[in-house]
A and B are shown apart, each in its own frame.
Chain A
Amino acid sequence: MHKLREPRVFVPLLLLLVLALFPILLPDSTYEESVLIACFLLAIMASGWNLISGLAGYVSLGHSVYLGIGMYTGAILSKAWGIEPMYLMPLGGVFAALVAIGVGAIVLRSRSHAFVIITIAVLWSVQLLAQVAKPITGGADGIVVPPPAWAKELGNIPYYYMFFAVLLLTILLAWFVMNSRLGAGLVAIRNDEGKAASIGINTTLYKITAYALSAIPFGVAGALYGQYLSFVNPIGAFGILTSVILVLAALVGGRGTLWGPVIGGFIIALANEFATVSAGGVSARVLIMGIVLILVVMFLPAGLLPTISAAIKRRREKGDTVKFIDQTAIANSRTEVDTSAISTRMSTTSKVENILEVRDVVKTFGGVRAVDGVSLTVERGTITGLIGPNGSGKTTLFNCMTGTFTPTSGTVLLDGENITKDRVWTRAHEGLGRTFQITRLFKSMTVLDNLVAPLEKTSAKQMVAGRYSGEEVDRAREILDFMGLSQFEKQNAAALSFGQQKLVELAQVLMLRPSIILLDEPASGINPTLIEKLANVIRRLNEAGTTVLIVEHNIPLVLSLCSKVHVLAAGQVLTSGTPEEIRNDPLVIEAYLGPDHLLEAPSV
Chain B
Amino acid sequence: MQIVQVLAYGILLGGIYALLASGVTLIFGVLDVVNVAQGAFLVFSALFTWQIWDMFGIEPLLLIPVMGAMMGLIGWAIYRGMLIRVAPQGPGMTVLLMFGVALTMEGILNLGFGNKFKSVTPAYFTQSLNIGEIVLPYPQLISGVLAIVVLAAIYAYLRFSWAGRALRASSQNRDGAALVGISHKKAAGFAFAIGAATAGVGGVLLAIMYPIFPATHYEWIARLLGVVVLGGFGSIPGAIIAALLLGTMESFAATFVPQWAPLFFYGTILLILVFRPQGIMGSKTREDVA
Contacts and interface: CB of A to CB of B under 8 A. Distances in A.
Contacts of A129: 263
Contact of B226 (A110, A121, A247, A284): A121
Contacts of A294: 82, 97, 100-101, 104
A120 B102 CA distance: 14
Nearest to A520: B288
A59 B95 contact: yes
Interface residues of A, number: 57
A404 B288 contact: yes
Interface string B54-73: 00000000000000000000
Max chain A CB contacts within 10 Å: which of B103, B105, B107, B262? B103
Contacts of B111: 283-284, 287
B122 interface: no
B273 interface: yes
A59 B259 contact: no
Interface stretch (A111-119, A149-157, A456-464): A111-119
B92 A286 contact: no
Contact of B86 (A113, A118, A298, A440): A298
Interface in B182-223: 218-219, 221-222
B14 interface: no
Nearest to A241: B103
Interface in B20-65: 28, 34, 36
Contacts of A122: 266
Contacts of B142: none
A297 B86 contact: yes
B161 interface: no
Given A289-B103, A399-B288, 19 more contacts: A61-B99, A106-B274, A114-B233, A114-B273, A114-B277, A116-B95, A117-B34, A120-B222, A124-B222, A128-B263, A285-B107, A286-B103, A287-B103, A287-B107, A290-B101, A297-B93, A297-B100, A301-B89, A436-B288
21 contacts: A58-B92, A61-B95, A111-B287, A114-B233, A117-B225, A118-B270, A120-B222, A124-B219, A124-B222, A132-B259, A132-B263, A240-B218, A284-B107, A286-B106, A287-B110, A291-B107, A293-B99, A294-B82, A294-B97, A294-B104, A436-B290
B100 A290 contact: yes
A490 interface: no
B92 A121 contact: no
A162 interface: no
A244 B99 contact: yes
B107 A288 contact: yes
B290 A125 contact: no
A125 B221 contact: no
A398 B284 CA distance: 17
Interface in A114-161: 114, 116-118, 120-122, 124-125, 128-129, 132
A152 B147 CA distance: 60
Contact of A298 (B85, B103, B225, B273): B85
Q: Looking at chain B's contact residues, is the secondary structure mostly helix, strand, loop, or mixed? A: helix
B65 to A, nearest CB: 29
B123 interface: no
B279 interface: yes
A110 B290 contact: no
Interface in B219-246: 219, 221-222, 225-226, 228-229, 233
B180 interface: no
A289 B96 CA distance: 12
A270 interface: no
Given A117-B34, A125-B266, A283-B107, A298 B92 contact: no
Contact of A109 (B221, B266, B277, B286): B277
Contacts of A121: 222, 225-226, 266, 269
Interface string A235-279: 000001000100100010000000000000000000000000000
B105 A290 contact: yes
B278 interface: yes
Interface in A427-444: 436-438, 440
Interface residues of B, number: 55
Contact of B225 (A120, A285, A404): A120
A53 B269 CA distance: 23
A107 interface: yes
B287 A283 contact: no
B175 to A, nearest CB: 14
A61 B96 CA distance: 8
Given A57-B92, A436-B288, A291 B104 contact: yes
Contacts of A61: 36, 95, 99
A389 interface: no
Contacts of B106: 286-287, 290
B198 to A, nearest CB: 18
A290 B218 CA distance: 14
A117 B228 contact: yes
Contacts of A53: 92
Given A57-B92, A240-B218, A399-B286, A117 B103 contact: no
A112 B233 contact: yes
A301 to B, nearest CB: 6
A331 to B, nearest CB: 23
Contacts of B282: 112
Contacts of A59: 92, 95-96
Contacts of B91: 113, 116
A248 to B, nearest CB: 9
A395 interface: yes
A38 B85 CA distance: 34
Contacts of A124: 218-219, 222, 262, 266
Contacts of B3: none
A298 B108 contact: no
Contacts of A581: none
A90 interface: no
A417 interface: no
A192 B288 CA distance: 11
B286 A404 contact: yes
B131 interface: no
Max chain B CB contacts within 10 Å: which of A57, A114, A124, A247? A114
B82 A298 contact: yes
B173 interface: no
- 5 closest pairs, A vs B, by CB? A287-B107, A290-B103, A293-B100, A290-B104, A283-B110
A193 to B, nearest CB: 9
A286 B110 contact: yes
B4 interface: no
B283 to A, nearest CB: 10
Interface string A378-422: 000000000000000001001100001100000000000000000
Contacts of B92: 53, 57-59
Max chain B CB contacts within 10 Å: which of A240, A247, A399? A240
Nearest to A190: B92
A194 interface: yes
A118 B267 CA distance: 11
A298 B110 CA distance: 24
Nearest to B282: A112
Contacts of A289: 103, 107
A287 B262 contact: no
B255 interface: no
A128 B229 contact: no
Contacts of A282: 110, 115
B102 A297 contact: no
B260 interface: yes
Nearest to A439: B290
B125 to A, nearest CB: 27
